[in-house]
Amino acid sequence: MSENKSYNKNRDFSKTPEPESESKTETHSRAKPLFVIQKHDASTLHYDFRIEIEGVLKSWVLPKGPSTDPSQKRLAIPTEDHPLEYADFEGIIPEDQYGGGTVMIWDKGEFSNINTQNGKTVPLGESYKNGHIVIYLEGEKISGGYTLIQTKSGKLDDNWLLIKMDDDKADARRNPTSAENRSVKSGQTLEEIKSTEQKSS
Ligand code: MN
C-alpha cells in the first residue's frame, strides 16, 4: 500500500525502535478490529488515534486527545497509515528521527463498526472514504460510541472531528486526558517510560 510506503519512507529503522511496515497483508484471528490511542510527547504533546481498517491502522493526530463529553468536538488531523504492529509500540523515538519523542500506549482495545444506513452496516473502508465513521470502542479508558467525521467531504486530507455519542458511556465531568496519565501496557507515565528506557539503553 502506498500509505505504508510513506510510513516506511519517513523512518530509518536502524535508528528508531518502531516496527517496520511489511508489504504483506495482515491477517489475524481476532473477531473485532483494534484501536489504540498513543500519547506522544513529540515537539508538541498530542494523542495519536489509530483504528484498524482493511489491514492497516488509519491514523489521526488528536491535539487535545479524546473527550468523554458529547458537547466537545475534538480536532482529528489525518496522518499516514501505520502497520497493525504499531498498536503495541511504546518507547522512545530518537529526537533526530521522524516523530521523535516518547510514545505511551494510553488506551487500547477492540471496536465495533456501528455505522448503518437504511438498516445495513456500512463497511469500515466505505465509511472512511465517505468521511463518516461511527464506532463503538471498548478500551480501558475510552469506551462507547464515537463519531469521526470529516469536516469537508471530497478531500481525504481535510480535518476530521472526533465526537462522543450521547450514550451510557458519555460523561461530561470526566476528563481522562488529564486525570488518567498512565500506560495501559506498562502502567507507567511518560516520564517513567523515558527514564526506564534511558536506563536500559
Ligand atoms: Mn504522533
For ligand 1, the distance from its centroid to the CA atom of residue 39, given in whole angstroms, is: 7
For ligand 1, the distance from its centroid to the CA atom of residue 45, given in whole angstroms, is: 8
For ligand 1, the distance from its centroid to the CA atom of residue 117, given in whole angstroms, is: 33
d(CA 37, CA 182): 12
For ligand 1, the distance from its centroid to the CA atom of residue 99, given in whole angstroms, is: 6
pLDDT at residue 27, rounded to an integer: 58
For ligand 1, the distance from its centroid to the CA atom of residue 90, given in whole angstroms, is: 12
pLDDT tens-digit map of 85-98: 999 999 999 999 99
pLDDT at residue 25, rounded to an integer: 56
pLDDT of 69 > 60? The answer is: yes
pLDDT at residue 2, rounded to an integer: 46
The pocket of ion ligand 1, defined by CB under 5 A, consists of: 40, 48
- What are the residues facing 138 on neighbouring strands? 110, 143
Cβ atoms of residues 104 and 37 within 8 Å? no
pLDDT of 57 > 80? The answer is: yes
pLDDT tens-digit map of 125-176: 999 999 999 999 999 999 999 999 998 755 555 899 999 999 999 999 999 9
d(CA 78, CA 45): 16
- Those residues whose C-beta lies under 8 Å from the C-beta of residue 178, and which sit 6 or more positions away, are none
pLDDT of 1 > 50? The answer is: no
pLDDT at residue 199, rounded to an integer: 72
Give the position of cell 521522524: 98
The CA–CA distances, whole Å, from 153 to 43, 107, 128, 138, 161 equal: 30, 29, 11, 28, 12
Cβ atoms of residues 29 and 107 within 8 Å? no
For ligand 1, the distance from its centroid to the CA atom of residue 118, given in whole angstroms, is: 36
For ligand 1, the distance from its centroid to the CA atom of residue 146, given in whole angstroms, is: 21
For ligand 1, the distance from its centroid to the CA atom of residue 38, given in whole angstroms, is: 7
